[in-house]
Amino acid sequence: MPAKRTYKVRVAKDFIVLAGIFFFLCLWAVKDAWYPSDKVLKKHPRLVEVSFETSGLLGQVHAEVGDSIGEGQLLAKLRSTRMEVELTEGKKEYTEAKSKHALMQEALHDAEKSGVSAQEITELQNSETQAKTAMDAALQRVGKIRSSIDSAELVAPTKGKIAEVRVVSHGQIDAGQTAFVINPQDHFYLFNQSLAIFSFVSFWVFLGLHLLTQ
């Protein structure tokens, strides 16, 4: 066989291989772009629903349909006046419990140094333990109130555009109730759609070149 003919056959085989690669690449891109699996949808949701973790009366809504928002941007906030009052009271309670615990520690230390009876030492130790328990409980309560105040602010989990607003200012909202629907700025599907079109065109180009070089 002449060298020129052998070269043409080898090139034709390369073209059909490339056509096959782009054919399967096109199928893969079409599946992910238009028929994504549950796993893909979980990683790249088409829409993201955002909700409060706690119930309450809604204050001001900071986003409207069509707004472009960034990750972590404040969308809405529950009224937290009552929780702020509780936080102030909780801090006061913790400060008092901490002071009492410090006094009990000092009293126990002084008693141990002065050589009082074992019974008195035991009583002071019990009182110190109770004071510490009360202090820890007060600190835990302050932490929970702070957490509730933080959860009263609803922020965007991702950047994108507001597709729906399902709440109104000064309205009651339940924990887990969808407040906003976000169209995330995720180029995954657009990329795969473009890849599918490119692969489809490339498949026919290389298939045509294969036929021409036969």
HEC-encoded secondary structure of the chain = CCHHHHHHHHHHHHHHHHHHHHHHHHHHHHHHHHCCCHHHHHHCCCCEEEECCCCEEEEEECCCCCCEECCCCEEEEECCHHHHHHHHHHHHHHHHHHHHHHHHHHHHHHHHHHCCCHHHHHHHHHHHHHHHHHHHHHHHHHHHHHHHHHHCEEECCCCEEEEEECCCCCCEECCCCEEEEEEECCCHHHHHHHHHHHHHHHHHHHHHHHHHCC
Give me the CATH number covering residue 65.
Answer: 2.40.50.100
85 shares its domain with 133:
yes
88 shares its domain with 72:
no
122 shares its domain with 143:
yes
Residue 63 has φ and ψ, to the nearest 5°, of -140, 150
179 shares its domain with 191:
no
88 shares its domain with 146:
yes
One-letter identity of residue 213: T
What is the rounded average pLDDT of the residues 153-179? Answer: 91
Q: In the chain, how many domains are there?
A: 3
92 shares its domain with 138:
yes
What is the rounded average pLDDT of the residues 52-71? Answer: 90
Contact of 161 with 67, CB cutoff 8 Å:
yes
In this model, does residue 181 exceed pLDDT 60? yes
84 shares its domain with 102:
yes
87 shares its domain with 122:
yes
More confident residue, 181 or 85: 181
12 shares its domain with 113:
no
85 shares its domain with 140:
yes
Q: pTM for this structure?
A: 0.62
- For the chain, give the percent of residues with pLDDT over 70: 94
More confident residue, 114 or 95: 95
Q: What are the tens digits of pLDDT across the range 120-142?
A: 888 889 999 999 999 999 999 99
pLDDT at 9: 53
134 is in which domain, residue-wise? 80-151
What is the rounded average pLDDT of the residues 45-50? Answer: 93
Residue 50 has φ and ψ, to the nearest 5°, of -120, 135
What is the rounded average pLDDT of the residues 146-166? Answer: 89
75 shares its domain with 165:
yes
175 shares its domain with 136:
no
Query: Tokens at residue 88, please?
Result: 């102030």
The whole-chain average pLDDT of the chain stands at 88
What pLDDT band is residue 1 in, cutting at 50, 70 and 90?
A: very low
pLDDT at 8: 53
